[in-house]
Amino acid sequence: MSAEITVLSQVQSALGHRLVVASARGLSWFGEHGAGWLALGLAGAAVDRGRRRDWLVATAGVAGSHAVAVAVKRVVRRRRPDHESVAVLVGTPSRLSFPSAHAVSTAAAAVLFSGLTGRRLEPVLVPPMLVSRLVLGVHYPTDVVAGAALGAVLGGLVRRRLDGGAAG
């Protein structure tokens, strides 16, 4: 058994309580195709009229980050975990695993929305989404770590543009 399968099995064993699994499924639904983050970004644009353009650019950055994740998945073609010690507890739109698109869009949203709210959202938003993908048995640990890193980089690139646009 690989180290990643061992970690997945241990995470599911330690956190497999029905309430944790239900919460993880809720996060999965929220993060599917980045939809929850896109909705929050559009809500920000509707409420914060003075920075509507920035919210729309940030939301487009989240959508773009998700698209990059899907493209990378199609190039890498890593299959999702498939081992008798790992229970798959939610459906997925594809069998491809690397990187976790949920992790990418969540990290991008956290970086971008942090810049607009003035609050550090990364430590609050990213870890629960990453752990949820492991609890549900749909990603390897490296899928979620790489996804979070990719999302943070992509979100950071868009945020730099926003920050530069605000100063200029």
pLDDT (tens digit per residue) in 52-105: 999 999 999 999 999 999 999 999 999 999 999 999 999 999 999 999 999 999
pLDDT digits (tens, 9 = 90+) for 5-29: 999 999 999 999 999 999 999 999 9
Whether residue 108 contacts residue 152, with contact meaning beta carbons closer than 8 Å, is answered with yes
pLDDT of residue 168: 43
In the chain, where are the structural domains located? 3-167
User: Which fold would CATH assign to domain 3-167?
Assistant: Vanadium-containing Chloroperoxidase; domain 2 (1.10.606)
User: How many Å apart are CA 135 and CA 138, to the nearest integer?
Assistant: 8
Q: Measure Cα distances from 90 to 16, 22, 31, 149 in Å.
A: 13, 10, 13, 24
Give the pTM.
0.94
Whether residue 55 contacts residue 45, with contact meaning beta carbons closer than 8 Å, is answered with yes
pLDDT digits (tens, 9 = 90+) for 113-122: 999 999 999 9
